[in-house]
Amino acid sequence: MRPVPAELELLKPVDLCTRDGRLNRAAVGWSREPVHRADIPAPWGRRKRWDFWGVVAPGCVMNLTVADLDYLGMVDVWLLDRSTLKTFTCSVPVPLARGIELPDKVAAQPIRFEGRAAWVSIDEETKGTRLRVDARAGGHRLEADVLVTRPAAHESLSVVIPWSDKHFQLTTKDVSRPAEGYVRWGNTRYGLAADDGASYGVLDYGRGVWPYRSNWNWGAAAGRARGTNGAVRLGLQLGGKWTVGTGMTENALFVDGRLSKISEELTWNYDPRDWLRPWTIRTPASDRVDVTFTPVYDKKTRVQAVAVESRVDQCFGTYSGTVVDDAGSRITFDALFGWAEEAMWRW
């Protein structure tokens, strides 16, 4: 059995890059709050920057993406009705990412986009992050005003994945933040309440220089669970493929907002011929993660363009199983709603 690598916890602010755009090796590690400054003076065309928000409500799921790939920007709003499995999609390509400005630190500045089909505003407030959206596509309109709250002492996971001095990625995964507000699609209004245990937001903040061919697994979920000492608010952050061989992982648990880092690479088992069959995700060297994901919907995304090619299957459904936090508490859960995906990119 392979030894679990020792990952360095970072406690002070640090620059992601050196002045010539290479990876600053002092930035390799993980932290419980964002400490990295991600100014990337790398060659134009290789940088990848995005803010992705996943919002889960009892009646729907909404994805909101603002991305800058240097040569192309993308603003994407997507919604799944959890009862009917009907979807709304508004995708706005932005040549050369003109007008898209993403901060070099998490939540360091507002994010704005205004186009003919979509208006997006992401702002930091005292209680958390406010997401506002007004998008139109196919004769339909989607509006949202959601506050993703930030409870006291809440922790997130930031980690730098070092493929090489020229290729690296900073990711911040902020999971299990209770959300409140509404999403409206046509005549249907979906409410979110921060205290209902089923409304939450997830941030995926990404800044880096990627190799041309990339692939990954990512899973996330949140909700109420049963711990050794009673009920807890649980968040799952599960990754795979893209971190193998780097000495770092993006795997973590969040128990009542407290991060438990998992340094093992996870074993993912699923059937790419049938994405809706159950998936299993486990830690091979311990009992820290042993979960089953049961999908109900596969969001298929296929892109074939001159500079970009991708295949993404983001499946939505429920997690059940057990996890063990840093204190040794065994946490059991059933029907935590979230997602699991496989992505392959040439970009």
Digit-coded pLDDT (tens) for 290-301: 999 999 999 999
Instruction: Note the Cα 151 to chain centre separation in Å.
Output: 19
Is 170 within 8 Å of 48 (Cβ atoms)? no
Q: Are residues 65 and 163 in the same domain?
A: yes
Q: What is the mean pLDDT of residues 314-335?
A: 98
Instruction: Note the Cα 176 to chain centre separation in Å.
Output: 11
- What is the spatial distance between Cα 59 and Cα 79, in angstroms, rounded to a whole number? 10
Domain end: 183, 211, 239, which one? 211
Range of the domain at 157: 11-211
pTM: 0.96
Q: Are residues 64 and 143 in the same domain?
A: yes
Reply yes or no on whether the pLDDT at 287 is more than 90.
Answer: yes
Q: What is the mean pLDDT of residues 237-262?
A: 98
Query: What confidence category does residue 182 fall into, taking pLDDT thresholds of 50, 70 and 90?
Result: very high
Reply yes or no on whether the pLDDT at 308 is more than 90.
Answer: no
Give the residue with greater pLDDT, 227 vs 233: 233
Reply yes or no on whether the pLDDT at 3 is more than 80.
Answer: no
Average pLDDT score, the chain = 96
For residue 1, being part of any structural domain is answered with: no
Q: Are residues 140 and 241 in the same domain?
A: no
* Number of independent structural domains in the chain: 2
Q: What percent of the chain has pLDDT over 90?
A: 94
Residue 338's Cβ-side half-sphere holds a number of Cα atoms within 13 Å equal to 30
Instruction: Note the Cα 299 to chain centre separation in Å.
Output: 15
Q: Are residues 157 and 271 in the same domain?
A: no
Give the residue with greater pLDDT, 305 vs 172: 172
Q: What is the pLDDT of residues 19-33, one digit of tens each?
A: 999 999 999 999 999
Domain end: 193, 211, 229, which one? 211
> Tell me, what's the pLDDT at 307?
76
Q: Domain containing 114 — which CATH number?
A: 2.40.370
- What is the spatial distance between Cα 287 and Cα 25, in angstroms, rounded to a whole number? 32
Q: Per-residue DSSP letters for 335-347? A: EEEEEEEEEEEE-
Query: What confidence category does residue 306 fall into, taking pLDDT thresholds of 50, 70 and 90?
Result: confident
Residue 223's Cβ-side half-sphere holds a number of Cα atoms within 13 Å equal to 18
Reply yes or no on whether the pLDDT at 70 is more than 70.
Answer: yes
Q: What is the mean pLDDT of residues 66-92?
A: 97
Is 336 within 8 Å of 318 (Cβ atoms)? yes
Reply yes or no on whether the pLDDT at 44 is more than 90.
Answer: no
